[in-house]
Amino acid sequence: MFNRKKKYTSSNLQNVKLKCKLGLALSGGGTRGFAHIGVLKAFNEERIGFDCVVGTSIGSLIGSMYCAGVGTEAIMEEARLVSRREIVSRLWLNSDPSNIERIVNRLLVDKTFDELSLPFAAVAVDINSGSEVVLNSGSVAKAVSASCAVPVLFHPVALEGKLLVDGGLLNNMPADVCRTMGADIVIGVDLDHSRGSGARSQKIKDILVATWTITTKSTMYKGQQNSDIIIEPELQEFNRTSLNNIDAMVAEGYRAAKQKMPEIKKLLGLK
């Protein structure tokens, strides 16, 4: 059983030294984001560390834990314990985003951005002004909850005079933010490179999810232009709102990252 009071940290193996600053951009994609864990596991095995991480939606959730020094196995154990009821209401509409905040804080224990081991930012959108907001100060869990607050499915998060919703509305793979944080090379992870394929049924939840994925198809442009290499797990068979098949999604993220590793290592000047 996962011990929620235990302090987990990532491997203490020394990472290889790079001649550049390496950034990681983790995209949104609903519960398919568990694949991000497998991607991080692959980089840990290669002892390739990042100088900054930026995430949108589920990418911000996984990224925040990584930047706090939480190991991939601990993140997986927590993921297996999360129930749908903890995240959303029974009807999947107008759920409280503080649910996400509580889940993050089970591992991060109210950490602020300044207390993280690595520079991290989460991307959200101010629904009042329609502008992108990069969150990199204050409560990490609050920022993650804002970045994950898909409109209609969740209430907006009120923060510093703004009403914030899911960053995927404008920037679903925020590689450009990694650039502004000083990254010379950026690895992007796209959870849904086949997005925009439509709804699986006429149920309102499926229609809302399909509408969202069609919308975010156009918000990938900045991420694609600012990523040197994009890792693309094959996740089409997995439902974006299901908490089943976590291990399979992690395994697919790991496979996709390993497949790109020769190209990544060549770009980084590693053998």
Structure token digits, residue 268: 């980084």
Q: Of 104, 234, 221, which Cα lies nearest the Cα of 172? A: 221
Catalytic residue set: 57, 166
Structure token digits, residue 217: 């198809």
Structure token digits, residue 153: 């499915």
CB atoms closer than 10 angstroms to residue 69: 18
Answer yes or no: are the C-beta atoms of 215 and 198 closer than 8 Å: no
CB atoms closer than 10 angstroms to residue 167: 33
Answer yes or no: are the C-beta atoms of 43 and 16 closer than 8 Å: no
CA atoms in the 13 A half-sphere facing the CB of 178: 35
Structure token digits, residue 106: 């089970």
Structure token digits, residue 166: 């899911």
